[in-house]
Structure 1
Amino acid sequence: MMVNENKDSYDRKTDTYIVAYFDLLGVTSRIKSDMEKQEVFMNKLHNLYTFSMNLTREIKIKENKEIQFKIFSDNIIIAKKISEENRLEDINCLLSCAAHFQELAASDSVGWMLRGGITIGQLFIDEVMVWGEALVKSYFLEDKVAIYPRVILDSNVISEIKNDSVLSEYMRKDFDDLMYLNYLNNCYYCGERLMKGFELMKEELESHWDERMRQKFSWHMNYINSELDRKKEKKDKKYRLTLTIL
């Protein structure tokens, strides 16, 4: 069987993209659970994917229509080509989409944590494959650097947004001096949803509890509480995440 060797088979090339790579935490243990729970988890995951993609594409902003999603098991890639004439708008579009996805995952409709990485670099993406240095780097940030349920911002993303008064609000510096995505940047009066999502996480993962899990829960709890305090929204002051599992 001969591979098609017409010209169109060889004109693919990479372009400059901003890329987010996510890993949903705890999916392996969910897949290993009993059949009834597996179906519940699978449907949660499917709904999270489809709702996020559909909402992004329904928003009547030209840049949003060009966002691309790739999903395989518990891994998600969200990519947006960067054009020189609309560079900051394209970056803002991807950061907003990534932040919404993480907030939705953490809220009461799903109640799952994730970690990841966001970078800018060369990428090729179509219906068949994803290829390029941006994929490799964003995966590295998720797999080797993030550790906690946070999405690490690569230095090339930071340099693009640090001097912009709007985009810089997507950055937060952590205790280890790494910058991560402030996914609650555009989330207002969301304390109740996040608190209920946190309770769902604790209930679901109580049987898998260990010190590594406690680290992740503590980071997640402290981040959300600090952001709710920062926003100073009176309605949300009564919603505080607490970690009571020993």
Structure 2
Amino acid sequence: MNKQQYNKDNPTLVDSIVCAIDILGFSQMIVQSCQEGYGDKLLREVNYLINKNKQCIIPNKYSQGKIKIFTDNMVVAYPIKGDGEAELDEILENVAEYQFNLSLEGLFVRGGISVGDFYINEDIVFGPALLDAHYTESQIACYPRILLDKKTVERLRGYIGNTDTIAQKNKILIDTDGQWFINYLNTIFKYYKDCTNEYEFERIKLALLERHKCKIEEMLLTYKENIRVWDKYVWTANYHNCFCDLYFPKEKSLKISRKLLLSWPRQISTQDI
């Protein structure tokens, strides 16, 4: 029996890299769309976006990776071969692209990645790696970020220590709370890597960041009276600005204005009376 793939005829736990992903605010979107009479429209749009963008996670028919989608949740798993470096690298890159693509459509996600025993088929997802990934997503991530749990961080530390490649390091950022999360905006450097015109490549990267900026600004304005949700997009805006500072420091217009990120009290005015 091959312990490097998920055997549908003889279910067996397989050492795997597992990612659990949740779309931020999706339950509220469902309720609101049905109350206001556009539930079918939302269903069709989300179905189209998820099915279009999930292709980047399992890129070809030869991959042993598997996906399970239910409502606003997705589980992605890659069985580990050897030391697991290739599988972790693949899931980081592919999930980042999925997260980035959805963000450009105004769908922001949070998630967790873990490593350990896992099994998946058409009917079931099972194993401690799934529980750890789900716990990281639901209890620790909080913001629209996909976190690596402690076991995954330790593995990645070892891989980076052995190879010391800049490409691997750039796929991850470390947050102020010490959590390691996927630097999904790094996808812009991959998007048009085959572009031979350097000027066109630069223009495309800036256009993608501008589109990402506009979506975040839209969310900040939409949720300005819901402080709990608004705060999640403040985090996303700060991440966006941090990325711009790191890679495009001269492009000041790409950054989200601090005025949108601050919530100051004000005095009573005539409009309030």
Fold agreement, TM-score > 0.5 = yes
Unaligned 5+ runs, structure 2: 1-6, 190-204, 264-273
Q: Pick from 96, 101, 113: which aligns with 2:98?
A: 101
Residues 212 and 66 of structure 1: is their aligned pair in 2 closer, same or farther, counting only changes over 3 Å? same
Q: What are the within-5 Å matches in structure 2 for residues 175-214 of structure 1?
A: 175-188=176-189, 189=205, 190-202=208-220, 205-206=222-223, 209-214=225-230
2 CA distance for matches of 1:130 and 1:138? 12
After TM superposition, the runs of 4+ consecutive aligned structure 1 residues lying more than 4 A away are 59-62
Are the equivalent residues in 2 in contact too, given 1:114–1:149 (CA < 8 A)?
yes
Q: Percent identity?
A: 24
| Aligned length in residues | 230
Distance 2:231 2:70 in 1: 26
Q: Are 1:44 and 2:40 matched, yes or no?
A: no
Q: Which amino acid aligns with 1:130?
A: V
- The residue that corresponds to 1:24 in the other structure is 23
The structure-2 alpha-carbon separation of the partners of 1:60 and 1:128, relative to structure 1 and needing over 3 Å to count, comes to closer
1:15 to 2:14 alignment: yes
Match of 1:123 among 118, 125, 129: 118
Contact 1:161 1:168 in 2 (8 A): no
TM-fit CA distance, 1:169: 2.1
Partner Cα separation in structure 2 for residue 124 and residue 32 of structure 1: 32
> Counterparts of 1:241 and 1:48 in 2: how far apart (Å)?
26
- Counterparts of 2:71 and 2:245 in 1: how far apart (Å)? 35
Letter in 1 for 2:65: I
The separation in 2 between residues aligned to 1:9 and 1:25, in whole angstroms, is: 32
Query: Root-mean-square deviation (CA), in Å?
Result: 2.5
Aligned residue in 2 for 1:143: 138
Indicate the residue corresponding to 2:260 in structure 1.
Answer: 244
Distance 2:49 2:72 in 1: 11
**Contact 2:219–2:230, Cα closer than 8 Å, also in 1:** no
Query: What do residues 170-228 of structure 1 show as CA deviations (whole Å, max 9, x unaligned)?
Result: 2211111111111122324121220232244346x44x832212210110000011112
Higher RCO structure (Cα 8 Å, ≥6 apart): 1
2: CA distance, partners of 1:141 / 1:174: 15
CA displacement at 1:40 relative to structure 2: 3.4
Q: In the aligned structure 2, how far is the partner of 1:60 from the partner of 1:28?
A: 31
1:51-130 aligned within 5 A: 51-57=52-58, 59=59, 62=62, 65-84=63-82, 87-107=84-104, 110-130=105-125
Which structure 1 residue ranges, 5 or more long, are not aligned? 1-7
Letter matched to residue 134 of structure 1: A
Look at both structures and tell me which one has the larger radius of gyration over its CA atoms.
2
Q: Distance in 1 between matches of 2:8 and 2:32?
A: 43
How far is the alpha carbon of 1:244 from its aligned partner? 3.0
**Is the CA contact 2:119–2:126 (under 8 Å) kept in the aligned structure 1?**
yes
Change over 3 Å in CA distance of 1:56–1:11 after alignment to 2: closer
**Residue range with higher mean Cα deviation, 110-119 or 167-176:** 167-176
